[in-house]
Amino acid sequence: MKIIIVGLGGVGSILSSKIARYLAYSTKEMTTLWLVDGDTYETKNYERQEFDLLGNKAEIKAAQLSSEFANLSIISYKEYINADNIFDVITNKSIVFLCVDNHKTRKIVSEYCSTLQDIVLISGGNELTDGNVQIYMRKGGVDKTPSLLAYHPEIQTPTDKLPSEMSCEELASSQPQLYFANLGVATIMCWAFYNIMFSKKPITKPEIYFDMLTMAISTQTRTVQEK
């Protein structure tokens, strides 16, 4: 089994530890965990992100998890994912956790996954106090749930930029986020993973929303539209 976590910020840095612990102690399947991020962990990230050293996020998280879970095979990929390198990272029959902060990357990854035969893509994102998780699954070359783009025009036609396209000023001036919102997304992504791995029921509600302020969580029915 190949599991890939793309983006190791507020969501991905939390999620990677939980997934690694689960894989190390709760499954017998041989797993390779890929950690993908071109970004650097800095002191400004202390508030929301879980690392033990400063440096490239993929590299230091891989080192941290390798020392904690020696039986896991962990690979770090120290670049932002984009249309040119996605082939190197995401391969058929992978499980991909997408924890990025822009819709442009979500579109690239979702469109690439739609060319693969068998793939599971779990994508999460949040605003200040709410967020959502989407599950995109393909089996035998057929969409079992809608792609990330199907119900979301803001991902279909993104107005934001890739991290590699942003200036230092743009990167530094990101919107405020809450650790608790990141934690909520990471937790729901873990639930989605568990359901996909162990539930025999087809997933008919592959989009999950939560709202911290109303303390609500709900799932939404999504159907694959015929092309």
Partner 1 sequence: MRNYTERELEKMTAKQIKKIAVDAGCTGIYKMSKDDAIEYFMNWQEERNEESELVDDLKDPLAGVAGRFKSTVVNPEGAPGTRVSTTVQVSCGANAGPFEVIGRTIAEVSDLLREVLNIEASATPLVNGRAVSASYTLKVGDNLEYLKPAGRKGC
Measured from the CB atom, is 24 or 78 closer to partner 1?
Answer: 78
Measured from the CB atom, is 67 or 223 closer to partner 1?
Answer: 223
Q: Judged by CB under 8 A, does residue 227 bind partner 1?
A: no
Is the Cβ–Cβ distance between 110 and 136 less than 8 Å? yes
Q: Judged by CB under 8 A, does residue 9 bind partner 1?
A: yes
Binding residue for partner 1, selected from 72, 182, 183, 193, defined by CB under 8 A: 182
Is the Cβ–Cβ distance between 83 and 106 less than 8 Å? no
Q: Judged by CB under 8 A, does residue 185 bind partner 1?
A: yes
Q: Judged by CB under 8 A, does residue 211 bind partner 1?
A: yes
| Measured torsion, CA atoms of residues 186, 40, 72, 101, in degrees rounded to the nearest 10 | 30
Binding residue for partner 1, selected from 3, 16, 31, 39, defined by CB under 8 A: 39
Binding residue for partner 1, selected from 12, 36, 109, 113, defined by CB under 8 A: 12
Is the Cβ–Cβ distance between 163 and 38 less than 8 Å? yes
Antiparallel, parallel or unpaired: β 142-143 and 130-139: antiparallel
Site for partner 1 in 56-115 (CB under 8 A): 99-103, 106
Q: How far apart (Å, rounded) are the C-alpha atoms in residues 178 and 181?
A: 5
H or E element, residue 55: strand 55-56
Binding residue for partner 1, selected from 2, 10, 74, 76, defined by CB under 8 A: 10
Is the Cβ–Cβ distance between 146 and 222 less than 8 Å? yes
Q: How far apart (Å, rounded) are the C-alpha atoms in residues 197 and 218?
A: 21
Q: What residues contact 185, with CB distance under 8 A and at least 6 apart?
A: 11, 99, 124, 125, 126, 131, 133, 210
Q: Judged by CB under 8 A, does residue 221 bind partner 1?
A: yes
Q: Angle CA(59)–CA(118)–CA(9) in degrees, nearest 5?
A: 25
> Per CB under 8 A, which region of 25-33, 69-77, 86-94, 174-182 contacts partner 1?
174-182
Site for partner 1 in 104-143 (CB under 8 A): 106, 123-127, 130-132, 134
Site for partner 1 in 136-155 (CB under 8 A): 148, 151-155
Q: Judged by CB under 8 A, does residue 160 bind partner 1?
A: yes
Site residues (CB under 8 A) for partner 1? 7-12, 39, 99-103, 106, 123-127, 130-132, 134, 148, 151-155, 160, 174-175, 177, 182, 185, 200-202, 209-211, 214, 216-218, 220-223
